[in-house]
Structure 1
Amino acid sequence: MLSTNTLAFACSFLLSFGFGVRILPNENGSLPLLDSYDYIIVGAGIGGLVVANRLSEDASVSVLVIESGDLDDRAEDISIPGNIGLEDPRRYEVKLEMAPQEFLDGETRVFTQGKAVGGSTIVNGLVWTRGSVADFDAWEHLGNPGWGWMGLLPYFRKSENYSKPISNKSIQDASMTARSVISEHGHHGPVEVGYPNYFYNQSHNFLNGIQKLGIPLNEDPNSGNATGACMVPSSMSAKNQSRSDARTAYLDSALERPNLHLITGHTVTHILYDKGGGKPSSSTYVPSVPSLNITGVEFATNETVDTITATCKKEVILAAGSIFSPVLLQISGIGPAKLLRSLGVDVAIDLPGVGSNLQDHPTLEPVYDYASPDVFSAWDIVGSTRDGVREEYLVNRTGPWTAPMVNAIALPALSWITDRVQEVLDDAADANCTLPSSYDAALREGYAAQQAELLSLLARTDTPAYEVMSTSWGQLAISAMQPFSRGTVLANSSSMFENSQPIIDPRFCSHPVDCELLLLGVEFNNRLIQTPPMAALKPRPPPGFSAEEARNKTALDETVRVYGTRNLRIVDAGVIPLVPGAHIQATIYAIGEKAADIIKNESWGTLPRVEPLPEEFQDRQPAASPEDSSKSGLLPLLKPGRRHGTTHSGREVR
């Protein structure tokens, strides 16, 4: 093993690198690291880059970020919204295979995650939705003071630079008029949020058809009431009409900071610790749980080379995503004791919840082929047409290449799409949800508390039951927004490299109401394509997606410190107690911003650096300060229920 002493170089040497914070191997292959860092961050996705940026604002604080992927090349298939979905998946994505889904058809499914600096924000669909007030207030109800809507709103605003919809015929035709000032939004944050300069006509057919079915338009789905239909904002620059991702937002602006170091192409293999050293600073210290002092991490490029050790003075922060953060905890000895022993891993802390509470929005992706000859879609951008579209984009930043694959969405409340609301709620309450066999009494109690919140959310008219995403080529994808099913993420080996494919089992429809909601969505789609605006496109349902066929056969596709440790936190999608009824990238940016303030306040008493809320919010409950949150008992993450030890592992950014 290489020692940190042999790797240490002077800070002045680091300043000479052309990439600023990026640390590259020297001539003999070693990395010029410091002897020790204040903070080591594992993963350069949203959570990792947000926290790295904010902590390194203090020049006296040293921060090391370790990422297994690489910097993307900013090529057209990544940066241009119109190319989303057409990029080479081998470049910056990793395919993860799920376990066979026993509650569906016994088949496996594959989902992808970004593997690059910026994480999934390099390859996602750009959709920018927060969720509803009630989604986040439910987090607070589950025992997380300061993490409700009012506690997170300053951080939603802090992370974004929002540009209102352009006032042109595209917006007006869809009856979408923007308010001159939208106080719920931020206008000075790092992430650019805006709208394209082009909307496919099919998006207007979709919105007009939705209205024919009684679903209202929502001029701003991020105002705290998400329900309705809209031209959806995207994580893209309104001026430049290009992708805005975690790298451009939080890393590029910090490239010249000598105290922020980034290593790419290396995988963290273990979290290092010693026992003792006093109790955690949090008032929620549990005497019966060992107090681990985290000393650093080991990492390497692959399993055949010696590992490198980096040590920390203050904390290690896990931001490896909701799949790999729990796996890294498990192989480092923090997790369910039975699993760890089966892997031959020494148990440092027996935490049954690590890798439990896996949630995702189950999704169906039917494509209704538009047979009308005058339909122009993204699939028509080929040959000479592509050359013209490309030139229009590069010269004027206009035309179809400015449009992401999803222009328009609908987020219906349950009562808007069925008159069987009480029946569905009764089914959700009475159905036997088959929880994982590894769930102990505390995890089951936590799930019962979650279920009560989910039932409340489904009964509301300001939170959606599901989402319908409309693409230009006819896909009307349906996602259940309040999933009741729960799954697990488990290491399959004591080696991180052998865990490139861990055991991922979301257990889709282990609670049958999730499938019932998707079937309601299919039936809604079939009503939608029969409305005059949609019928004009001459949509043809795919096999298996007529109303009768769908009924018979469905193919589915507050400190964040780890319990029992003094200085190990998680800042990624895995801390979410209940997935909000939205795409989650906006939420993870806000979590990262809030977590950074919590860490700063605990470490050196720095007060939150957020803009005060506008006057109209002053009569509402104020956001809890990071000091208040640190007393809330949020140890590995936000509490999913009312007992210690229940941890969450949700999906990464869609």
Structure 2
Amino acid sequence: MRFSSTVAFPLAANLLPPLASAIRISPAPNGALLLRDSYDYIVVGAGIGGLVVANRLTEDPSVSVLVIEAGDLDDRGEDVSIPGSVGFEDPRRYEVKLTMTEQEFLDNKTRTVSQGKAVGGGTIVNGLVWTRGSTANFDAWERLGNPGWGWSGLLPYFRKSETYSTRDHDISACKIPVPVHPVNGKHGDQGPVEVGYPNYYYNQSDNFLDGVQQLGIPVNEDPNSGNATGATVVPSSMTQKNQSRSDARTAYLDPALGRDNLHLVTNHTVTHILHNSSGNAIASRDTPIVNVTGVEFASNVTGTMMNVTCDKEVILAAGAILSPVLLQISGIGPAQHLKDLGVNVAVDLPGVGSNFQDHPTLQPVYKYTAPDVFSVQDIVGATRDAVREEYLANRTGPWTTPMVNAVAFPALSWVTDNFRELLDEAVNTTSNLPSSYDSTLRAGYAAQKNETLCFLSRTDTPTYELMSTSWGQLAVSAMQPFSRGTVLARSSSIFDNTQPIVDPRYCSNSIDCKLLLLGIKFNDHLIATSPMAALMPVPPPGFGTADARNETSLDETMRAMITTGFHFSGTTSMLPQNLGGVVDPSLRVYGTANLRVVDAGVIPLLPGAHTQATVYAIAEKAADIIKAGSSDAFPGAKS
């Protein structure tokens, strides 16, 4: 979760690691890029999926990899590196703004969402929250037709990706508000991404965690152990020693400096996936019909179009929005939409751009008015100078703490006594899927819905996430959404798709809004607890206790506030074809011989968690699958 501000931060020289210039391709004097004639692997996108795969494949010096990224290397400024700067970054630096379609099931208005555009992708600008979800979330992936992708199959890769550190309680006066005790065997100690805890907590974190416990939500001392429910201090993707952001670039690209078999092109956009296709064919895993030969790319719409060929595979890692768009304009996707775009159909694959999922989220602010409250909003002027000096000198103080670290993940039965009635209603509520969904997508949704209903009935899988900030935001997210949307290319040119047609269709299944309404009412109970009442919270307009009595008015106010949880997924789902899938369990695109997708789009069913840890694990597993060279091989990982 993030909030916006126009505050910009100066650079801190001691936070700047060396740039990846040793492997970055620069233009020659004539403007051409000094590429090899071909590469074994071409990776499209330098976010989590792309950088993890590129790093792991080039561990073999005989393997050549080219990564093409539309963004640039970040400059490691304070607004990027410092946890306390999360949400204050200048959005013009490493983000692109996307506008969703009007949300007809909310208030008929659009929403704007930002996406990371830099080497490292969203990990350069995200909120650092490091959660995995529950065992049940991933075991559902396996039941949906993906052998090897359950909790036990992914746990080695969760561990492989991280170096998890609990803070030393003896080195600081900082007190963690609730106990943190990692479960043995569930965490990594040698992975590239550093995961840790801040050296500072706002007092409001104690109030929040004490308050939710008074309402019956127990403490969870390790929310990443497979049981995600409970009140907790979540770990963050940050270095324990330096108290700075740990992102995909620092974790997986910078350590690969000097490998002459890994090349990176920045500020260039892949415009087409090139292939030799017979056209108008039906996708099949057993008899692939399309062989990918490489990619076409350019710096901008007027730039020179360049081609580069692959000897083995193209790996698409452009994210859950742009990966399906690139597939569609390259002739792989739902046939009718491709024809409407004027694109020749290479593979008729209805699931490309469908099964779109997100965590619908509310961000009401219950302003704390108690005179002794100190929040991030008080860090201005001389106070900001002092906070900055403390951070740079000692790596302590408020700048070490991210925007969100005190959270609760309630099960449905912990929030309402009427959960069985709600379950019955969820069973019988009309799914209201997009009219473009064919029979396979509808069958896939029916299977997903059954799994989601099971999640709501459990106490180890959260229905909600409640996120507390120092200034009074009590964000509510629906962790097991029933609604589904679409992502469609706007035209046949990638440069016309800087604003693709993004429609999450929030609350198209009405049960999602019913669940969110319960979450808002839970907030009313929360701010009435003695620990929270001590902060003297003032609810936002329309969310006070008196307003809550008028459920119709409260619902209208809530719908106008619902927005993205920044957890887009599912648009290139790993599912069987008869369930609307786009990739098989080896992440190979159906109907192709050598094209894979490695990003959040392959997630078949959104886990009840933030998604970055999951995508790191997916990419680590993908790298092993690719190395094994067999779609049927799912090797274990060292951890």
Give the alignment's TM-score, normalised by structure 1. 0.88
* Amino acid across the alignment from 1:328: L
Check conservation: 2:274, 2:330, Cα contact below 8 A: yes
Deviations 1:36-55 (A, max 9, x none): 00000000000000000000
Aligned counterparts of 1:229 and 1:142: Cα–Cα separation in 2 = 30
Check conservation: 1:522, 1:550, Cα contact below 8 A: no
Shift of 1:608: 4.4
Unmatched segments (≥5 aa) in structure 2: 1-18, 564-584
Check conservation: 2:180, 2:233, Cα contact below 8 A: no
* Amino acid across the alignment from 2:349: L
Shift of 1:303: 1.0
State yes or no: 1:340 paired with 2:338: yes
**Structure 1 partner of 2:397:** 399
**Structure 2 partner of 1:569:** 596
* Amino acid across the alignment from 1:193: V
Distance 1:34 1:606, change over 3 A: farther
- The one of 156, 175, 179 equivalent to 1:176 is 179
**Structure 2 partner of 1:582:** 609
Aligned counterparts of 1:449 and 1:398: Cα–Cα separation in 2 = 48
**Structure 2 partner of 1:527:** 525
Aligned pairs (5 A) from 1:13-32: 19-32=21-34
Shift of 1:606: 9.9
- The one of 310, 322, 325 equivalent to 1:324 is 322
Deviations 1:162-215 (A, max 9, x none): 002442688766341425x63200010000000000000000100000110010
Aligned counterparts of 1:509 and 1:81: Cα–Cα separation in 2 = 33
SS of residue matched to 2:239? coil
Aligned counterparts of 2:225 and 2:167: Cα–Cα separation in 1 = 14
Aligned pairs (5 A) from 1:252-271: 252-271=254-273
Aligned pairs (5 A) from 1:479-494: 479-494=477-492
Aligned counterparts of 1:476 and 1:594: Cα–Cα separation in 2 = 35
- The one of 394, 412, 415 equivalent to 2:413 is 415
Check conservation: 2:334, 2:349, Cα contact below 8 A: yes
Shift of 1:550: 2.2
Check conservation: 2:317, 2:598, Cα contact below 8 A: yes
Check conservation: 1:167, 1:177, Cα contact below 8 A: no
**Structure 2 partner of 1:212:** 214
* Amino acid across the alignment from 1:174: P
Aligned counterparts of 2:27 and 2:174: Cα–Cα separation in 1 = 51
SS of residue matched to 1:517? helix
State yes or no: 1:130 paired with 2:95: no
Shift of 1:433: 1.6
Aligned counterparts of 2:417 and 2:175: Cα–Cα separation in 1 = 32
Aligned counterparts of 1:363 and 1:170: Cα–Cα separation in 2 = 34
Aligned pairs (5 A) from 1:168-317: 174-179=177-182, 182-275=184-277, 285-287=285-287, 291-317=289-315
**Structure 2 partner of 1:105:** 107
Shift of 1:220: 0.7
Check conservation: 2:65, 2:262, Cα contact below 8 A: yes
State yes or no: 1:550 paired with 2:554: yes
Shift of 1:18: 7.2
Aligned counterparts of 2:20 and 2:140: Cα–Cα separation in 1 = 46
**Structure 2 partner of 1:360:** 358
Q: RMSD value over aligned CA atoms?
A: 2.0
Check conservation: 2:156, 2:636, Cα contact below 8 A: no
Aligned pairs (5 A) from 1:48-87: 48-87=50-89
Distance 1:33 1:466, change over 3 A: same
Aligned counterparts of 1:167 and 1:364: Cα–Cα separation in 2 = 34
Aligned counterparts of 2:407 and 2:167: Cα–Cα separation in 1 = 15
SS of residue matched to 1:438? coil
Distance 1:534 1:273, change over 3 A: same
Shift of 1:610: 2.2
**Structure 2 partner of 1:458:** 456
Deviations 1:201-256 (A, max 9, x none): 00010000011001001001000000001111000001000000000000000011
**Structure 2 partner of 1:159:** 161
Aligned pairs (5 A) from 1:133-144: 133-144=135-146
- The one of 446, 466, 469 equivalent to 2:467 is 469
SS of residue matched to 2:199? coil
Distance 1:540 1:607, change over 3 A: closer
SS of residue matched to 1:406? coil
* Amino acid across the alignment from 2:628: N
SS of residue matched to 2:59? coil
Give the alignment's TM-score, normalised by structure 2. 0.90
Aligned counterparts of 1:302 and 1:275: Cα–Cα separation in 2 = 26
Check conservation: 1:166, 1:195, Cα contact below 8 A: no
* Amino acid across the alignment from 1:258: D
Check conservation: 1:114, 1:121, Cα contact below 8 A: yes
Check conservation: 1:95, 1:112, Cα contact below 8 A: yes
Aligned counterparts of 2:370 and 2:506: Cα–Cα separation in 1 = 36
Shift of 1:426: 1.1
Aligned counterparts of 1:322 and 1:552: Cα–Cα separation in 2 = 30
* Amino acid across the alignment from 2:591: G
**Structure 2 partner of 1:509:** 507
* Amino acid across the alignment from 1:216: P
Matched pairs, number: 590
Check conservation: 1:165, 1:171, Cα contact below 8 A: no
Distance 1:395 1:170, change over 3 A: closer
**Structure 2 partner of 1:541:** 539
Check conservation: 1:165, 1:178, Cα contact below 8 A: no
Shift of 1:551: 3.9
Aligned counterparts of 1:182 and 1:529: Cα–Cα separation in 2 = 35
Shift of 1:59: 0.2
* Amino acid across the alignment from 1:31: L
**Structure 2 partner of 1:376:** 374
Aligned counterparts of 1:263 and 1:447: Cα–Cα separation in 2 = 38
Shift of 1:28: 1.4
Check conservation: 1:93, 1:112, Cα contact below 8 A: yes
SS of residue matched to 2:588? coil
State yes or no: 1:592 paired with 2:619: yes
Deviations 1:492-551 (A, max 9, x none): 100000000000000000001110111111000010000000000000000122323424
Shift of 1:306: 2.0
Deviations 1:367-409 (A, max 9, x none): 0100001000000000000110000000000000000000200
Aligned counterparts of 1:347 and 1:231: Cα–Cα separation in 2 = 49
Shift of 1:552: 5.1
**Structure 2 partner of 1:634:** none
Shift of 1:605: 11
Check conservation: 1:487, 1:507, Cα contact below 8 A: yes
Aligned counterparts of 2:224 and 2:631: Cα–Cα separation in 1 = 33
SS of residue matched to 2:21? coil
Aligned counterparts of 1:579 and 1:408: Cα–Cα separation in 2 = 22
SS of residue matched to 2:206? helix
SS of residue matched to 2:621? helix
Check conservation: 2:467, 2:475, Cα contact below 8 A: yes
**Structure 2 partner of 1:617:** none
SS of residue matched to 1:297? strand
Aligned counterparts of 2:376 and 2:186: Cα–Cα separation in 1 = 33
SS of residue matched to 1:367? coil
SS of residue matched to 1:528? helix
